[in-house]
Each structure stands twice: as C-alpha cells, then as structure tokens.
Chain A
C-alpha cells in the first residue's frame, strides 16, 4: 500500500473501524471519490468537453446563415485547408502570439507579481488600499471601462490625452487608439488581467511561514534576495497556475478588443477572427463552420501550451508529497 493510502486510513480509522475493514473497503472499489467529484465533472463535461465536440463537428461542415442549422453539408477538413492557405492566417497568428506574450509578461504575471510583492511589504492598510484600486478595472463593466479608454485617446478636441498632454506640449493631436492600437489592447487587457495574479500571488506570499521570512532577514538577505531565494520558490505553484490560466485566458478572450477596436487597425487576434467569422458579420451571413474551425485550432493550441507549461514548471514535482513531511 502506498504512503497515500496509509495516510487516508489513519484519518478515517475512527469511522471505518479496523484496518482490515478499511482494506476491504478499498478492494471492493468504493466510488466515494467519484461522487465527490461528480458536480465538477458534470460542469466540465457540459461546458467544456461537449462544446469542444460540437465545435469539432461543426468545423467539418459548411454551416452558415444561408444553410441554417438544417441544410448544411459535411465537408471534412475543407475549412482547415482554407485556414492553412488563407493569406491572413500568418497575420492573425503572429498578432495573437505577440499580444499574449506581451500582456502576460508585462501585466498578467509581471505586473501582478510586482504589485503583490510591493503591497505585501508595505503597511497592511496601504497594501489593501492599492490592491483594491487595482481591482477596479476588473469589477467595472466592460463597456464602461473600454469607453473610458476610448475617450482617453479620442481625437481632438475630445480625448483626455489630447487635451491635457498632447496639445499643451504643442504636439499634433490625433485619435490615439488607432495610432497606438497594439499598445492600447495590451493596456486595456493588462490592467484587468494583473488583478487576478495579484490576488493569487498575494495570498501565496502571505501564506509563506513567517519564521522562514524572519530567518532570511536575520541572515541579512536583501529584499531582492528574499524575493529570488525565498518567495519565488515558495510560490511556484501559483506562478504555474496564473501563467497557464492567463495564457489560455488571453488566447481566448476578445471582448475588450472587440469593444475597443472591433479588430480594426491590425488588432484582430485569432479568437476575434473566429468570432467575427462565426457570429458577427455586417451583412449577416455568419460562417459557423469556418468560425468553428478557427476556434478548434485555438483549443488544440491551448491544450498543447497547457502540457508544455506543466512540464516546464515540473507539475509532477509540485503535486508530489513533500519529502520533508513525516507520517
């Protein structure tokens, strides 16, 4: 029997009686674990696996507004072939990679870590206040939040940047959203994304045993040494989680970009391209089959990236029993 099973039995000894009875229970295949997991499994099946299957199925058809849901035809891999030879595919792909990488590094993980490190090393009240400020973009309704950014960058005589900074400096005012479209989509998404990592990292940093932190101070470690040798190793698991989650989230999210630019000015990331093709068309002929094929590719990339991250962060090691723990 493994160490895990032994620990389980130690905890359950009173309820289950003798060790023999417990072993018998295991051997007869208790399904307790299944029933505990069932609600979550049901949600995952209904809201992930089934939609993935439907997406894959529809991607093999020519379903569109003009076929409706009843007069479509099976076309196999034709939509995928179309994507492979489409002249705009490299552009959307490269833009998505750039957008995810920059936003992740500078905001969703980077800024989140910086904010959580700073706010856990200042007065508690001040730390709480600044973390609350950083939460504001996340809790503001998307349309209002994006409209604020639009009017920050709007053309003269409108626009806060133009009125308060550009024109007083004697520079030429313009509509800054199209002029610096990539920067704007990174900023708009990054300010929201940073708050998620900030919450997770803050909790993880505050959970580090106080005696470890005090010991490092006693040993004369500087702030940066403490961060590098104590804090970062302790928060490896939250780092893996936030990095993986935020990568997938950025890859699949498009609502802020849609409200801000609707994909204009070279900001149509892959997920927005899929949305436009499948669900938004000026003249109303939605290409469900083609859009689903674009979305299916995103699912595959997401799964591959998830596996790569888990290997890079040594997921197996992270979920093993700590070697220092005793029975």
Chain B
C-alpha cells in the first residue's frame, strides 16, 4: 500500500510542475499594453518585412495618444531565414496551438491553405472595401490585391513583389563577338519573342565552343526547388489555373516541351550534369563573378550579390550584367516573368490567442507606407507595391528597380489554390528526374500525369 501511494504521488508530480499558473485577468480599465507579434521569413537584407512594425507602432501610439486612448502598442518583430517549408511548418504548429503571431508575412499561395484551416481572418469583402478602410490600403497598386484574394474575399495585404528575370553576362557576350548594339538589343528581342529558349541554348553552346565560358557554364538556372521553374512551363504555353472553374490545370504538351528543354540544357553541355542541388553559395559566387553566360533568378538577388559578394559595388553588376524577361519557347510570343508577392496576413483570435484584431489591422496599415516599403525595396531589391512610390524620389533614384518595373506588365502569379503545393511537388519531381536523366522527358511527363490523377483527382484539369 505504501509503495502504491509513493508511486501515485510520483506519477502526479509532473502535473504540479507543469501546471501553468492562472493567466492574468484582462484589464478592462486603465492603461493597456498590447503586444503585437510579427513573423516574417527574411534574410539580412529583407529584415524590414518584420521590422516595419517598429516605426509603424511608434506612429500608431502617437495616433492613439491624440485620440485620448490609454493603449500602448508594443511590437515583437521576428524574422528568420529557414527554408520556406520549415517556416510554414513552424507557423502551422504555432497557429493550431493558439500561439501564432498576430501578423504573418508569407507567400500569397498560403492564403487558401491558412484561410481554410481558420488560421487567418478575412480583411474585407472586396478590393473597394479594403481600399476604403485606410488611405495606406488605397495606395496599394490595384492589381496586387489579386494576390491576396481567395473565395471572393481579401485575406492579405501585399508586402512586396518582384520579378524573376533572365540575367546574362554582357561581358561574356562581348567576348563572344556581340556588338554593344546587339547586347543592348537582346533585352528587347527577348521581351518581344525574337530570342527564344532555343536561341539561348544555341548561344550558350557557341560560347562554350569558343572558350568564352567553361563547359557547363552556359546556362545556370536556379539550382534548387522553386517557383522560377514554372516560367519555363509558361514559356511553352503551359497554364496553371482555370479561374472560372477554380481548378488547377496541367498542360501535357507544355510540360513535355519544358522537360525536354531542361534535359537539352544538360545534354548540350550548357548546364552541368547533376546540377540541381548545387549549394546556393556556390551559385551566387559563380554568377556574381561573371562566370556563367545566362542564369535566371530574382531581382532580390541583385542586392544579395552587391552586398554579400561584391563588397557593395553595384557598378560591377551594371557593367557586367544584363536582364530581361524569361524568353518564350515559341517564337513571336512575348517573354514572361513570375512574380511571387509576399503578403501580410492577420491571424484569427484563436490562432494567435489574442484579441484586438482591429488594432492589428490598423498597425498593418501603418506598415504599408511609402517610407517603410521603399526602405525594404531599396535594401532588398524588391519592387514597390504602392502607387505613390512610382513618384517617390528615393524609389525613382534606384536605378535597378526602375529599370525592371516594366516587367510587371508581363508578370503572372502562381494560383491561390490549396492543392497547388501538391501540384508543384509532383511537377518539380518530374522536372528533376527529366533533367538528371533518371527518366526521359516523355516518361517523366507521363509519370506526372499519373501522379496528378492519384493525388489530386478531380482537383486538376489535365489537358
């Protein structure tokens, strides 16, 4: 009996140790301090995604003081540079436990997933409604609201956007024998569909043959998984989404042509064998130092190269690097570029464990100003999201950003559909297998179609 008693007490001990104390009762009168947490996935040049909350909180506190309200807002900006999957996993677990942040900055594609899970709240029923809420929201470029729209409502506020160009080495093209006029005209030719992906392969092969670049350095596409690859599928006429039916789409013909292109890059020798998986540092070092002829990436990498690989000297980049839309796979068809707007979403009371959602939206409006957004745009080379930035001197003075803004006329977004992540994974695995030679492009495309039917069923239209 004695031993049984001791055992029961030992088993009950953890309950006393881990039992939390009573939460403090909410103060209903007197001064209040409201803490608002903002999470963002960002590296050292993108810190403004989270830290925008700090000056916004100062502005909000001043407003509240003028209104005579005894509320003080404190903010906790948190940014980390873990891979996207891990970042979203962290948020999912936290939100489901009721310990999520109040504002989460993430890709627009997370809107349908997190909205369905009840982690984020709708902000407005329409674009006009959200534009009428705060003047800062009215300043957002109209078309960008599409990125935050799902199921007819607005769920997110744009934080930034970007374009994903095809970069090329002007220096190496000159070594190849191109004139200055030809090099200058390449951007226009790509944009107009007069220089296609086939022309890219031919040019890169010639450059290797003439010793301008080393074998395998003709075309260095993105080295790891990412949405950029969809641009090549798009270049061959592939589309991802049918908005009328709200279903994902897979175009078999475009898929096969894209896979064939990726494989041809390797068999023609312009891209190294077994290239996918190359470390990011190696890729940045190679392209920033002009060792490849063509490479595709994102405009935000310009700041990365300048700051982390070229000792802050942007003039080297302007001297050596040109950029254009992603060439089409079909002659005469305009080039394209993918934009992946990051958006701010406000979590629900349940997901964050906090009330004061109105105050959070108000803070978000004050984070969406041309001063703060321009700081982020300049430091990280992302595109601005506000109409007023197009006339804002610090933004206009940014030579690189001004020169790529036109790409927004040819951009497109990945779909806001909760099955997109599975669609993308299947298509990516197929592409990787095709490029590496594990499967022929045709076999890879066939396998993708079969997997889509099993995993997505009626949620995808296969053309």
Please list the residues of chain A having a beta carbon within 8 angstroms of any beta carbon in chain B: 35, 38, 65-71, 82, 85-88, 150, 154-155, 158, 174-175, 177-179, 261-262, 264-266, 276, 279-287
CB-based nearest A residue for B450: A87
A71 and B451 form a contact (CB under 8 A): no
CB-based nearest A residue for B97: A69
Rounded to whole Å, the gap between the CB of B62 and the closest CB of chain A is: 36
Chain A residues lying within 8 Å of B86, measured Cβ to Cβ, are 280
**In-complex Cβ contact of A174 among B88, B274, B418, B421 (8 A):** B274
Chain A residues lying within 8 Å of B451, measured Cβ to Cβ, are 86-88
Chain B residues lying within 8 Å of A287, measured Cβ to Cβ, are 422
Q: What's the interface size class on B, roughly?
A: 35 or more
CB-based nearest A residue for B291: A157
| A179→B275 CA distance, assembly (Å) | 9
Count how many pairs of residues, one from A and one from B, have CB atoms less than 8 Å apart in the complex. 121
B276 and A154 form a contact (CB under 8 A): no
**In-complex Cβ contact of B420 among A35, A175, A264, A283 (8 A):** A283
A283 and B107 form a contact (CB under 8 A): yes
A284 and B275 form a contact (CB under 8 A): no
Please encode chain B, from 110 to 126, with 1 for each CB lying within 8 Å of some chain A CB and 0 for all others. 10111011110000000
**Stretch of B151-159, B200-208, B277-285, B369-377 contacting A (4+ beta carbons < 8 Å):** B277-285
| A178→B109 CA distance, assembly (Å) | 30
A155 and B282 form a contact (CB under 8 A): yes
Q: Apart from A178-B277, A284-B107, what 19 extra A-B contacts exist at CB < 8 Å?
A: A35-B7, A65-B117, A87-B450, A87-B451, A175-B275, A175-B277, A178-B275, A179-B273, A265-B276, A265-B432, A279-B89, A282-B84, A282-B226, A283-B420, A283-B421, A283-B424, A284-B85, A284-B88, A284-B113
CB-based nearest B residue for A89: B454
A-B contact pairs, 26 of them (CB 8 A): A38-B7, A65-B92, A65-B117, A66-B116, A67-B116, A68-B96, A71-B116, A82-B454, A82-B455, A85-B454, A86-B451, A86-B454, A87-B447, A87-B451, A154-B279, A174-B272, A177-B274, A178-B436, A261-B277, A264-B432, A265-B276, A280-B89, A281-B425, A284-B106, A284-B421, A285-B113
**In-complex Cβ contact of B274 among A68, A88, A179 (8 A):** A179
Rounded to whole Å, the gap between the CB of A162 and the closest CB of chain B is: 12
Is B309 an interface residue when CB atoms closer than 8 A count as contact?
no
| A68→B120 CA distance, assembly (Å) | 12
| A265→B275 CA distance, assembly (Å) | 10
| A86→B453 CA distance, assembly (Å) | 9
Q: A154-B279, A266-B438 are in contact. Are A285 and B454 (CB under 8 A)?
A: no
A281 and B421 form a contact (CB under 8 A): yes
**In-complex Cβ contact of B92 among A38, A179, A286 (8 A):** A286
Is B419 an interface residue when CB atoms closer than 8 A count as contact?
yes
Is B387 an interface residue when CB atoms closer than 8 A count as contact?
no
Please list the residues of chain B having a beta carbon within 8 angstroms of any beta carbon in chain A: 3, 7, 84-86, 88-89, 92, 96, 106-107, 109-110, 112-114, 116-119, 225-226, 272-279, 282, 418-422, 424-425, 428-429, 432-433, 436, 438, 447, 450-451, 454-455
Q: A86-B454, A261-B277, A265-B436 are in contact. Are A282 and B89 (CB under 8 A)?
A: no
| A88→B429 CA distance, assembly (Å) | 11
Rounded to whole Å, the gap between the CB of B295 and the closest CB of chain A is: 15
Chain B residues lying within 8 Å of A154, measured Cβ to Cβ, are 279, 282
The 4 closest A-B pairs by CB, nearest first: A178-B274, A284-B88, A283-B421, A68-B117
Rounded to whole Å, the gap between the CB of A184 and the closest CB of chain B is: 11
**In-complex Cβ contact of B96 among A69, A82, A178, A281 (8 A):** A69
A177 and B116 form a contact (CB under 8 A): no
Chain B residues lying within 8 Å of A262, measured Cβ to Cβ, are 277
| A266→B84 CA distance, assembly (Å) | 22
Chain B residues lying within 8 Å of A281, measured Cβ to Cβ, are 85, 88, 421, 425
| A310→B436 CA distance, assembly (Å) | 41
A66 and B274 form a contact (CB under 8 A): no
B436 and A285 form a contact (CB under 8 A): no
Chain A residues lying within 8 Å of B278, measured Cβ to Cβ, are 155, 175
Chain A residues lying within 8 Å of B96, measured Cβ to Cβ, are 68-69
| A70→B116 CA distance, assembly (Å) | 11
